[in-house]
Amino acid sequence: MNKIKVVIAGCSGRMGKALLEGVLQADDLQLHAALEHASSALLGKDAGELVGAPCGVAITVDAAAALQGADVLIDFTRPEGTMFHLGLCREHGVNMVVGTTGLSAQQKAELGAAAQQIGIVFAPNMSVGVNLTFKLLETAARVLAQGYDIEIVEAHHRHKVDAPSGTALGMGEVIARTLGRDLEQCAVYGREGVTGERDPSTIGFATVRGGDIVGDHTVLFAGIGERIEITHKASSRATFALGALRAARFLQANAAGLYDMQDVLGLK
């Protein structure tokens, strides 16, 4: 069996290490290269040592060289890094799994353009459970379209740099799309002072940052006399890594195009 050759960007980060563990433990995957930024003290070291499993693959900053002969790059870094890698993947014909959050509309459009040549799975959250939650939210929004106020509460660790989380925004987009609304027009991201009565057409977001919370998300549908809460809680980054590896396998078996985890999981 030919193994899928995987390149991991940001291999020393929290997600990078989870991905390393997943790839090194999988029978059908092979760590082809591991990338870090130019100022990293880990350059030249064995990537597997980061997770206690030396593998003979040295950490490098040379993304162009790393992509030679690779099948897929998995990227959970920052928008600027992801866009740099996107150009190289497009040039070398290497598929991408993108879990980076905080991409602008223009950057998302660039993903779509590149997907004419390569396969890309782009999702705000790679967790199988979260993507099942997206499907549940679509059903709930359709049934509770009238008479229910919608609020999204998310919590993450103190080191997370963007807010609301990409997952929370993804949940809002699913709900808004189902209700025929534009999230950019109906989202409320903070309340303070005398705000007046709640506009029933809005979707509210609340953000919590603290400690080592991996990722908690709750969507509240609050009606008169009842409320429905749909919650997903992640206790380990392994869930995101396993979803990303599932996406890598999906790309290996499918044509070029822009996909999300709903495609990967067959939920569409």
CB half-sphere exposure, 106, CA atoms < 13 A = 3
Active-site residue, selected from the candidate residues 5, 17, 32, 156: 156
CA 222 to chain centre: 28
| 160 catalytic per annotation | yes
Distance CA 260, CA 124 (A): 9
Amino acid found at 54: P
Distance CA 194, CA 98 (A): 40
Active-site residue, selected from the candidate residues 160, 217, 232, 233: 160
* Residues contacting 131, CB < 8 A, separation 6+: 123, 125, 243, 261, 262, 264, 265, 267
Burial 201-222 (b: 16+ CB within 10 A, else e): eebbbbbeeeeebbbbbbbbbe
| 232 catalytic per annotation | no
Just list the catalytic residues: 156, 160
